[in-house]
C-alpha cells in the first residue's frame, strides 16, 4: 500500500515542507525507518538530528522547518502518529463470517460483517452489532449484548448478561463479569453472596490483556466511555470508572470505588474500597489510596499525599539512618549543655 504525503498531511491536518506527491509505504520508528517510510520526531531531542533517520519523510512539531527530508508539520505529532499508524496497519482482513467451528446458542442476533472464529462459544440470547470480531477461544455467555465494531481477542470470557458498547477492544485473556468477591462471615466460615449484577462497558473503551472485571453484587460495575486499561488490571464489583480515565498495568481497584473522568492511575497503584477519586486526578505508581481524592489532585505514596510532598518525603527515606544518628548526637549535646548549665 502506497500513500502520498499529501493524503497523510490532510489526514493529520499538517503542513508539508517539500514534495507532497512523494509516496510512502509504511510508518516506522526513527532509527528503523527505511527510504520508503515516514517516521516521527515527537521528542525535541530529535531537533537538528533529522538527517539521522533513513526515512523519506518525517512528521514533526510545527516549529521545525528545515531538513533534507519531506516534513509534515503538525501541532500534535503524537496524535498524528496515532492516525498514520492506523492508516498503515496491516490486518484489516475482510470479515470471515461465522465459522462452522464456532458454537452458537439459541436466539442469536448478529449484525453484518461479523468475524466469529473457530473455537468461539456463544450462549443463548446473545446479540452482536455490525463488524464484530470474536477471536478463537472467546466465550460469550447467555444474555450478553455487544455493540458495533467491537474486537474481542482470543481466550477472553464475557460472562452472563454483561453489556459492551461500540468500538470496544478487549485484549486476550481478560475476564469480564467474574463474580465479585463478596462473602458473609458467620463468625466461623464464609458464605457466598450471589453476585447478580453485571458489568457494563461503554463505547470506545479498550481493556488490556488478562484484566479481571467483576460483576456487581446488584446493579452494575460500570466502565464508562473512552476508558483505557493496561494489562493485568483488577476492577472489583460495583466500581464506576469515569470517561477517558486511564488505568495503567497491574492497578487494583477495590469494591464500590468510584473514579471520575480524565483521571490516570499509574502502574501497580491500589485503591481501597468505597473510596471516591475525582475528575482529572493523577495517582502515582504503586500508591495505596485509602481516602477519597478531590478533583484535579496529583497524589502519590501510601497513604496518598500530594505528589510534590511525596517526592520530597520519599527522598528523605534514604537519609533516615543519618537523621537517627543526628538525633542521638543532638540529644547527647543537649544533655551536656543541661549538665553544664545546671552546675553554673
Map residues 252-271 to x or -, x wherever contact with a copy of itself holds by CB under 8 A: x-x------------xx-x-
Total residues contacting a copy of itself (rule CB under 8 A)? 116
Helix (H, G, I), strand (E, B) or coil at 316: helix
Which CB, 17 or 204, lies closer to a copy of itself? Answer: 204
Question: What are the φ and ψ backbone dihedral angles of 295, each rounded to 5 degrees?
Answer: -50, 140
When the beta carbons of 15 and 101 are compared against a copy of itself, the nearer one is: 101
Site string for a copy of itself, 171-200 (x = CB under 8 A): xxxxx--xx-x-xxxx-xxxxxxx-x----
Q: Are strands 183-185 and 190-192 parallel, antiparallel or unpaired?
A: antiparallel
C-alpha span between 287 and 282 (Å, rounded): 11
Cell triple for 5 = 504525503
Q: Which of 212, 292, 298, 307 binds a copy of itself (CB under 8 A)?
A: 212
Segment 81 to 140, residues that bind a copy of itself, using CB under 8 A = 81-83, 85-86, 88-91, 101, 103, 117-119, 121, 135-137, 139
Is 237 a known active-site residue? yes
Taking the CA atoms of the chain, what radius of gyration do you get in angstroms?
27
Q: Is 14 in the site for a copy of itself (CB under 8 A)?
A: no
Of the candidate residues 41, 58, 141, 259, the single one contacting a copy of itself (CB under 8 A)? 141
Distance CA 297, CA 283 (A): 8
| Helix (H/G/I), strand (E/B), else coil: 9 | helix
Among 231, 276, 292, 298, binds a copy of itself (CB under 8 A): 231
Task: Give whichever of 106 and 112 is closer to a copy of itself, judged by the CB atom.
Answer: 106
Residue 46, classed as helix, strand or coil, is helix
CA distance 308 to 221: 33
Give the contact letters, 35-74, x = binds to a copy of itself (CB under 8 A), - = no. Answer: ----------------------------------------
What is the distance, to the nearest Å, from the Cα of residue 72 to the centroid of all Cα atoms in its chain?
29
Q: Which three cell numbers stand for residue 74?
A: 503538525
**C-beta separation of 303 from 283 below 8 A:** no
Catalytic member of 237, 262, 274, 307? 237
Q: Active-site residues: which are they?
A: 237
Amino acid at each position: 500500500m502506497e500513500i502520498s504525503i499529501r493524503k497523510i498531511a490532510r489526514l493529520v491536518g499538517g503542513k508539508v515542507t517539500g514534495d507532497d506527491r512523494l509516496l510512502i509505504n509504511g510508518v516506522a520508528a526513527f532509527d528503523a525507518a527505511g527510504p520508503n517510510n515516514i517516521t516521527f520526531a515527537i521528542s525535541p531531542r530529535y531537533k537538528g538530528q533529522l538527517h539521522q533517520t533513513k526515512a523519506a519523510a518525517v512528521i514533526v512539531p510545527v516549529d521545525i522547518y528545515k531538513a533534507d527530508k519531506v516534513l509534515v508539520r503538525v501541532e500534535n505529532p503524537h496524535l498524528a502518529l496515532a492516525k498514520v499508524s492506523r492508516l498503515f496497519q496491516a490486518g484489516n482482513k475482510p470479515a470471515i463470517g461465522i465459522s462452522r467451528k464456532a458454537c452458537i446458542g439459541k436466539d442469536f442476533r448478529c449484525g453484518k460483517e461479523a468475524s466469529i472464529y473457530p473455537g468461539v462459544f456463544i450462549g443463548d440470547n446473545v446479540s452482536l452489532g455490525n463488524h464484530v470480531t470474536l477471536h478463537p477461544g472467546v466465550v460469550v455467555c447467555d444474555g450478553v449484548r455487544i455493540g458495533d465494531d467491537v474486537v474481542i481477542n482470543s481466550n477472553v470470557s464475557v460472562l452472563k448478561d454483561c453489556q459492551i458498547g461500540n468500538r470496544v477492544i478487549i485484549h486476550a485473556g481478560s475476564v469480564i463479569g467474574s463474580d465479585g468477591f463478596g462473602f458473609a462471615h458467620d463468625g466461623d466460615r464464609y458464605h457466598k453472596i450471589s453476585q447478580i449484577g453485571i458489568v457494563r462497558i461503554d463505547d470506545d473503551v479498550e481493556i488490556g490483556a488478562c484484566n479481571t472485571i467483576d460483576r456487581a453484587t446488584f446493579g452494575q460495575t460500570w466502565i464508562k466511555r473512552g476508558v483505557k486499561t493496561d494489562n493485568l488490571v483488577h476492577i472489583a464489583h460495583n466500581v464506576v470508572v469515569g470517561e477517558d480515565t486511564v488505568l495503567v498495568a497491574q492497578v487494583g481497584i477495590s469494591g464500590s470505588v468510584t473514579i471520575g473522568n480524565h483521571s490516570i492511575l499509574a502502574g501497580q497503584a491500589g485503591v481501597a474500597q468505597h473510596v471516591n477519586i475525582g475528575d482529572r486526578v493523577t495517582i502515582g505508581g504503586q500508591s495505596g489510596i485509602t481516602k477519597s481524592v478531590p478533583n484535579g489532585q496529583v497524589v502519590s505514596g501510601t497513604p496518598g499525599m500530594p505528589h510534590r510532598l511525596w517526592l520530597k518525603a520519599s527522598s528523605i527515606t534514604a537519609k533516615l539512618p543519618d537523621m537517627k544518628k543526628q538525633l542521638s548526637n543532638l540529644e547527647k549535646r543537649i544533655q551536656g549543655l543541661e549538665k553544664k548549665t545546671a552546675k553554673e
